[in-house]
Structure formats: C-alpha cells, structure tokens
Chains A and B, each alone.
Chain A
Amino acid sequence: SAVISQKPSRDICQRGTSLTIQCQVDSQVTMMFWYRQQPGQSLTLIATANQGSEATYESGFVIDKFPISRPNLTFSTLTVSNMSPEDSSIYLCSAGSGRASHNEQFFGPGTRLTVL
C-alpha cells in the first residue's frame, strides 16, 4: 500500500486568489490523480497527473483553472486558480498501485478549501 500526504489540510482563501495543494507519496507510483468532492457530492475526477508530461483533464476541467505538476513519481501539485466560492470543496490526491489501472487506489487525507 502507499501512504499519501497532502498539504495544506485546510485553507480559507479570498476570491480571486490561487492555492497550490501538494501531494506526496511514500513510494514511486505510476498513476496519480486529483479529485474534487463538493459538499454533498461524490468524488469527481479532475485530471490524471502524468509524470514528465501535461496532465490529462476530464471534461469540464481545464489546465488554466487547475494547473497540475508532476515532476517525479512521488510528488504532484494541483493549483486552484482565480478562486471563486464555487471552488469550495475537498480536493483529494490519489495514487494507483497498478501499472495501468486503479486496482487499489489509495487516497490522501484531502484538503478542505473554503473560498470567501
């Protein structure tokens, strides 16, 4: 199994600012993902963080709003840009243990973001 940490665990931000969330895995993993969970909703995949190349974004999410970095096999960042109250959510990083699948996908503790 993989142990995943995220920073910050929570933050309260002003409208129009940006926040970068860090995700650190204790072992090298092939797949890393970023999810959003808005209040009362289930998890929605934002993007797959690809090591050494641009992230793959899901429908409804764009790089300008959610730039992602993945400089190596254990670390990734997600930035929420030009925030609005609608971005208030829990953001979760996850890592897949399988080479090309999610077999047992492990989640970080999440970052609770509140935008005023």
Chain B
Amino acid sequence: EDKVVQSPLSLVVHEGDTVTLNCSYEVTNFRSLLWYKQEKKAPTFLFMLTSSGIEKKSGRLSSILDKKELFSILNITATQTGDSAVYLCAVEARDGAGSYQLTFGKGTKLSVIP
C-alpha cells in the first residue's frame, strides 16, 4: 500500500523564520510528488516534482525531491503570517488498474506568529 508521511505534524514559528517541511514516501510506480497549501477547505497547488535534485522555486517557497532516498522538502524563507496553513504532500503513482492516483500525507500545520 502506498504511503506518504509528513513531518512535523505541526510547527509554530515567528515571522521571519525559515522553515523546512518534510515528506517521505513509499510507493510503487512513482510518477511525481506534489505540494499543496490548504488554508480553508480547498488545497491550492504549489509544486510538482518529478526529477531528483532540481529545485523548484516560487518566491519564498522552494522544494526539492530526492528519488533515491524517497523524500522531498518544502522550504519557506522569511515566513509571514499569511503562510499559516496546512501544507500537504501528495505522491502520484500508477495503480493496479494502470491509472494514476494521488496519495496524500496527513499534512504539516504551520502557524506563523507575528
């Protein structure tokens, strides 16, 4: 069974701090790893990673994938209160029927204090 584990489950930091969120996975037929930010109900897409060692950046957020060690990290620098959210990691893999599925981790709840 495919598994995605995120750590820590929750994190409280002060504005300006840098945080690193972790995601490890065990899946067969890996295709990609995705990061989402969930503030209220619907997750919003952040990054999709398919290759090891290539950093994806968007403003203060960056992410990298290690397919050998089966993990990814999401970095947020100079955190702001607006970064407070649950960050979800999901892995896309081919299932037994030949189609692709996303398996989500439990998420990391980030709280940024002014």
Contacts and interface: CB of A to CB of B under 8 A. Distances in A.
A93 to B, nearest CB: 9
Classify chain A's interface size. Answer: 20 to 34
A101 B101 CA distance: 8
Contacts of B106: 41-42
Interface of A is mostly: loop
B42 A109 contact: yes
A42 B88 contact: yes
B108 to A, nearest CB: 11
A102 B92 contact: yes
Among B34, B40, B97, B100, which residue has the most Cβ atoms of chain A within 10 A? B100
A101 B90 CA distance: 13
A42 B45 contact: no
Interface residues of B, number: 22
A56 B98 CA distance: 12
A92 B43 CA distance: 9
Interface of B is mostly: strand
Given A41-B106, A42-B88, A43-B104, A48 B99 contact: yes
A106 B44 CA distance: 7
Contacts of A15: none
B100 A100 contact: yes
B33 to A, nearest CB: 11
A26 interface: no
A42 B31 CA distance: 20
Interface in A5-34: none
Contact of B41 (A100, A106, A110): A110
Contact of A102 (B34, B40, B43): B34
B19 to A, nearest CB: 19
Interface of B: 31-32, 34, 40-45, 48, 88, 90, 92, 97, 99-102, 104-107
